[in-house]
Chain A
Amino acid sequence: MYRIVHYINQFYAGIGGEDHADVGPAKMPQVPPVSKAFTAAFKGEAEVVATIYCGDSYFAENTDKALNEICELIKAENPDMVIAGPAFNAGRYGFAAGNVAAAVKAQLGIPTLTGMYEENPGTDYKSKTIIVPTKNSAAGMRDAVAKMAPLALKLAKGEELGPYYVEGYMYTGIRKNLFEEERGAKRAVDMMLKKLAGEPFITEFPMPNFDRVAPNPPVADITKAKIALCTSGGIVPKGNPDHIESSSASHYGKYDIEGVQYLTSETYQTAHGGYDPVYANADPNRVLPVDVMRDLEREGKIGSLHRYFYTTVGNGTAVANAKKFAAEYAQELKADGVDAVILTST
C-alpha cells in the first residue's frame, strides 16, 4: 500500500472560508472527505495517510515560513508521493498548491502532483511539478479526482509518466528525448496532411513565449561614457585558461585588458567551436574590437574602455545559461560604473 500525503486549504479542511484563511499549517486529526475521495479512487493500491492544511492568507503572507513548516509536516509522514489541491480557479489556493508541490519535489525529492484550472496563476509552477487541468469550480471535483488519481498512483510507484498529451497533464516545457515509431520525415508529411485537412494534430514542439527586450534609450553623451566589451564569440587569453567549452558553454570568463592596446594572435584566441577559427585567431580584434576601441578612446570619441571584458561561447549554449551569465556580470558592470556595453557575436 503506497503512502500518500494530501495538502489542502482551510476551506477543504472544514475550518472555514475567507475569514479563517489566516490559520497556520497543521495536520488534520482525521483525513477529510476530499482526501477520502482520492483513497477510494486508488482502489486499495494506495491510501491518503495524512492531510496537511494551511490557510491561504497565511501561506501568501508567510510563504517561506509556511513552506518550511509544511515540508516538515510532510516529511514526518514519509510519503511515497504528495497531492496538493485540486485548487480549481481559486488563485491563492492555486499559488499555495503549486508552491507546495514544487517545494516538496525540489527539497524532499518526493514526487508531487496538483490540479487546477488552466487560468489559475498557480499554473506558473507547471515546469516544477505535474499539474492536471481541472474545471474552474469545485463542481468539477469528481472529474478532477478521476484524472489525478491514476497519475498520483503512477508517481507513488516511482514510474515515469508518459508525455503530457498522452497522460493529460499540462505541458511542462521540460524537453525529453524519445524514440518515435516513424522517422521525422514521415511524421512531417503525416502532420501536413492533417493540417491541410483541418484535422487536429499535435505539434512536437509548442512555440514558447519569446523574451523580447526593448532597446535602451541612446547614451546621452558618448564622449564621456565608459564602455565595456562583451562577446559570445569566444575570445579568451591564449590557451583558454578557464576552459570555456567550444559549444554549450557552462561558464564565462572575465579578463583584464588594462594597458592592452590591441589583441594579438600570440596572446589571444577564440574558444568558439561554431566557426572556422583561422581569421579570429589571426586577429582576435575582428571579434573583440579592442584596437578600434582604443583608437576611439585616444581620439576622445568615447570616454573610456572598461578595464575588463566578459566573454563566453554562444555556440549551442542554452538560453537559460546565457541569461544567468549576463544577469551576474551586468551587476558587476553596473557597480563598476559602466555606461554602455558593446556585445559582439562571431
Chain B
Amino acid sequence: MKLELGLIHVTDVQFGPESKIEGSVVYLNEEEIKKIVLEDETIKSVKLDIARPGESVRITPVKDVVEPRVKVEGRGGVFPGWTHKVDTVGEGKTNVLKGMAVVTTGKIVGFQEGVIDMVGEGAKYTPFSKTVNLVLDIEPVEGLKQHEYEKAVRLANLKVSTAVGELARNITPDEVKVYEHDTIMEGIKKYPDLPRVGYVLMLQSQGLLHDTYVYGVDAKQTLTTMIMPTELFDGAIVSGNCVSACDKNPTYIHENNPVIEELFAQHGKTLNFVGVIITNENVYLADKMRSSDWSAKLCKYLGLDGAIISQEGFGNPDTDLIMNCKKIEAEGVKTVLITDEYAGQDGASQSLADADVAADAVVTGGNANVVVHLPKLDKVIGHIEYVDTIAGGWSGSLQPDGSIIAELQVITSATNEQGFNKLSAR
C-alpha cells in the first residue's frame, strides 16, 4: 500500500473575496466558511478568526484541531465516514496544507478544555503555536445537550477542513513524502533478518465526551483490530474528545501520527514495520480484558518481536496500558510504552494509576500536574471565563491581571502520548 503525501507549505491564512491558494498563502472567503458551518441547524452562530505564530493571542477553550487535506488520487476521500463516504483510504496521493490548522472553540461542556497560546510560556508546550490557525468559535442553539454540541462542532471542523483542503486539489506540492507499507508476505521476503515491529495504538473510548471514531465508528463499539498506517494520513481516525486537553489526541495528531512516521523512517533499515493494531480504552473491566487479550493475540499472530504501545488519556486508561503491556510481553513480544504522568505539582506522587514490572521501557510526555504561569495576552479567541473550571485549572487560576496560573494539563497536546513533542520527565 503506497501513499504519496504532497506537502504544500502554508505561511499565512487571510480572509479575502475569493477562497484560493496563492503561493504559500491560503485565502478564505469568510461567508463561504460560515455557510458551511451554519448548514447544521443545531448551530446558532459562528465567528471566524485567524491566529498566527508569534501573535499575542490565546485560544480557549479548544475543542479539536484538524489539518486540512485532500485526496488527489486513489480510493475514497479524507475523513471517511464523515465528509466522504466510507471507502478504504490510504493509497494514491493526498495533498496536505502543512503549516495551518482548523481549530474549533465554543462553550462546549461544563468543563471544556484546552488553551493554545501563540506566544510566550504556553507556546513552548503546544504544537499548535507553530501553525497558522483558522479558528471557528461556534455557538449552539438554546438547550442543546453537551454531547450533541460536541458532535456539531466536530462535524463543523471536519467539513471546513475538507473544504479548505479542496483548495489544494490542483496545487503542485512543495515537497512529496512517500510512505509504502508492505504486506506481511512482502515484508518477510524483503527483510528476513530485521526485527518485526508493530504499533499498538490505544484509542480513547471512555465515553461521555472521551471518544474516538474510526471510519465513522465509535471506538467504544469496536474490537481490537488492524488498520493500515497510511489510512491514518487520510483522516481515518477522528477525535471526539472534549476533556483534559494535554493528552487527548486531536484529529491533527492522528493525521500526523508520529510513531507511524518514525516507524516508516526505520522500515527496511533497522526494523520491519509490520503493522498497526488499534485497541480501545473502555471503562468496563470485561471490555479492558477482552481488548487487551486481543492486542496480545494479534501481536503474537503477526509474529512480532516488538510492539510500541501509545496511550491516550490518563488514570482509568493506565490500567489498559499496563494490561496491554503485561499480556503482550507474556507472548514474548518486547514492548516500549508511551505515556504521560500525573505526579502531583511537586512531582513526588505516583505518576500512573497502575504499574507492573513488565513495563521496563517507558517514554513519557512529561508531568501534566506541573504548574505553569501563562502571561496575559492581548487577544483572546473564545471564552476566557472557563479557565478556572477546565481540567488543570482551579478557582482563581485566572489572575486579576489576566494571566493564568494552572497546571500544564490545560494546554492542548502539551504532554501528548503519541510522542509528538520533545517534553519529557525524569
Residues of A near any B CB (own CB < 8 A): 127, 163-165, 173-189, 191-193, 195-196, 201, 203-205, 207-208, 210-211, 243, 245-248, 250, 273-279, 281, 314-321
Contact = CB atoms under 8 A, between A and B. Distances in A.
Contact of B360 (A181, A203, A275, A318): A203
A264 to B, nearest CB: 18
16 contacts: A174-B347, A177-B425, A183-B420, A184-B364, A188-B419, A191-B363, A203-B361, A203-B362, A205-B425, A207-B357, A248-B345, A248-B394, A273-B243, A275-B210, A318-B350, A321-B344
A275 B348 contact: no
Interface string B235-272: 00000001110000000000000110111011000110
B391 A320 contact: no
Contacts of B270: 193
B341 interface: yes
Contact of A186 (B315, B334, B419): B419
Interface in B201-252: 206-210, 242-244
Given A204-B425, A273-B111, A316-B314, A184 B365 contact: yes
Contacts of A246: 111, 389-391, 393
Contacts of B258: 183-186
A205 B351 contact: yes
Nearest to A166: B426
Interface stretch (B10-18, B41-49, B284-292, B366-374): B366-374
Nearest to A281: B110
B359 interface: yes
Nearest to B271: A193
Contact of B366 (A177, A192, A203, A248): A177
Contacts of B366: 177
A187 B362 CA distance: 10
B243 A185 contact: no
Nearest to B309: A188
Given A248-B409, A315-B391, A318-B342, A204 B350 contact: no
B384 interface: no
B306 interface: yes
B419 A318 contact: no
Contact of B349 (A195, A275, A281, A319): A319
B146 interface: yes
Closest 10 CB pairs of A and B: A184-B419, A185-B419, A318-B344, A247-B391, A276-B208, A185-B258, A273-B111, A318-B349, A175-B347, A320-B349
A248 B407 contact: yes
A176 B109 contact: no
Report whether over half of chain B's contact residues are helix, strand or loop; otherwise say mixed.
loop
A176 B357 CA distance: 22
Interface string B111-146: 100000000000000000000000000000000011
B397 to A, nearest CB: 9
Contacts of B341: 175, 205
Contacts of B210: 275
Nearest to B246: A316
B146 A276 contact: yes
Given A246-B390, A275-B209, A127 B420 contact: no
Contacts of B401: none
A209 to B, nearest CB: 8
Given A174-B346, A184-B258, 18 more contacts: A173-B348, A176-B426, A177-B424, A178-B426, A188-B262, A189-B263, A189-B266, A203-B361, A204-B425, A205-B425, A246-B389, A248-B345, A248-B391, A275-B208, A316-B342, A316-B368, A318-B345, A318-B369
B315 A274 contact: yes
Contacts of B338: 184-185, 188
B424 A248 contact: no
A160 to B, nearest CB: 12
B409 A183 contact: no
Given A174-B348, A187-B419, A192 B391 contact: no
A196 B334 contact: yes
A196 B195 contact: yes
Nearest to A179: B422
Contacts of B336: 188-189, 191-192, 195
Contacts of A187: 363, 419, 424
A186 B363 CA distance: 10
A247 B259 CA distance: 29
A211 B423 CA distance: 28
A195 B259 contact: no
A248 B392 contact: yes
B298 interface: no
A278 B145 contact: yes
A192 B422 contact: no
Given A186-B262, A278-B146, A192 B421 contact: no
A204 B262 contact: no
A247 B409 contact: yes
